Structure 1
Amino acid sequence: MKTFDHLSVIGLREWIGLPALGIDKVRAKVDSGAKTSALHASDIETFERDGETWVRFNAHIGTPHKPHDKQCEARLISFKRVKSSNGHLQERHVIRTPMVLGDRRWWVDFTLTCRKSMRYRILLGCTAMLEGQLVINPGLRFVQGEPQPHLNPEG
């Protein structure tokens, strides 16, 4: 069997941080069947800043039983047509922001969508896993511990 030393192991659930959005720690569901990562957001509105299109939104980062919202702003990268888990085709706003997982940080694209009925407010898709050189052990959860952005300030 081949092994790859350059890959980091993650579980089906992990703590991540989105420091540029002011989010220190939130639980994410790892989903290798999803191409793009998704963030639960509402009240999405676009605006102009320095000749670029930005998006302002409420990120819902708590749990269904313990809600917590955070007002965020990020540069709009694009719009993407996505088929959601219930089969509906949606056009979503796409942002790119640094993500922290354990002691590592890299840029990840997130679509903004309503995940109100979902247990996890963030979905980590396979593109983020490829770029982060991650491999999933489905029998594990929260392998990387809490995000540690101070250990790797680049991003």
Structure 2
Amino acid sequence: MIALPDLSAARIPAKIDTGARTSSLHASDIERFDRDGHRWLRFLLDVGHGLSEPVVVEVPRADRRTITSSNGEAEQRPIIKTQLRLGSQVFAAEFSLRDRSDMKFPILIGRSALRGRFLVDSGRSYLQSDADERRKLLK
């Protein structure tokens, strides 16, 4: 369970994916617009799982990149930078925005966000979640 404190108060289930370079965040209804001469994005953040109500988010766009998905398809995706809380650490991370409604996890944490901060134990789950969250999620 992670948090994106600048975007939502909810704790959000996330999957660690060391095979992915860039992290990915579920977003729908993505719109580009200009504000004060800068590129911004507006999107609907819906972390699902009954954890919180969908919220409209407006953030500066950091970049636009070609991202290759796990099935080998390349697509242009907008990139945002926001604070990520994983365990006791809070740090800036980049996320590509994509509709992940067909995925089990609304957030995928890639290796760029993890590098130099965490070691991954592929045989364990929810190690950075508190005990109550772990019990609920592993039922």
1:136 paired residue among 116, 120, 124: 120
- Say which is worse superposed, 34-43 or 46-55, in terms of deviation: 46-55
Greater relative contact order (Cα < 8 A, sep 6+): 1
Gaps of 5+ in 1: 1-14, 147-155
1:68 and 1:120 map into 2 onto residues whose CA distance is 16
Identity of aligned residues (%): 35
Secondary structure at 1:32's aligned position in 2? coil
- Give 2:20's aligned residue: 34
Which amino acid in 1 is paired with 2:58?
A: E
List per-residue Cα deviations over 1:110-132 (Å, max 9, x = no partner).
Answer: 0001112111110000000015x
- Give 1:55's aligned residue: 41
2:109 and 2:20 map into 1 onto residues whose CA distance is 8
Secondary structure at 1:143's aligned position in 2? coil
Which amino acid in 2 is paired with 1:101?
A: L
Which amino acid in 1 is paired with 2:37?
A: G
- Give 2:108's aligned residue: 123
Please identify runs of 4+ aligned residues in structure 1 that moved more than 3 A.
65-68
Relative to the length of structure 2, the TM-score reads 0.86
1:70 paired residue among 26, 50, 55: 55
* Kept after mapping to 1: 8 A contact 2:13/2:107: yes
1:52 and 1:23 map into 2 onto residues whose CA distance is 26
* Kept after mapping to 2: 8 A contact 1:61/1:70: no
TM superposition shift of 1:51 = 2.2
Relative to the length of structure 1, the TM-score reads 0.78
* Kept after mapping to 1: 8 A contact 2:12/2:51: no
Which amino acid in 2 is paired with 1:113?
A: R
1:111 paired residue among 79, 96, 111: 96
Does 2:5 correspond to 1:19? yes
Does the C-alpha gap of structure 1 residues 112 and 140 become closer, same or farther in structure 2, counting only changes over 3 Å?
Answer: same
TM superposition shift of 1:67 = 8.4
Does the C-alpha gap of structure 1 residues 24 and 67 become closer, same or farther in structure 2, counting only changes over 3 Å?
Answer: closer
- Give 1:145's aligned residue: 129
> How many residues are treated as equivalent by the alignment?
130
**RMSD of aligned alpha carbons:** 1.8
1:104 and 1:51 map into 2 onto residues whose CA distance is 33
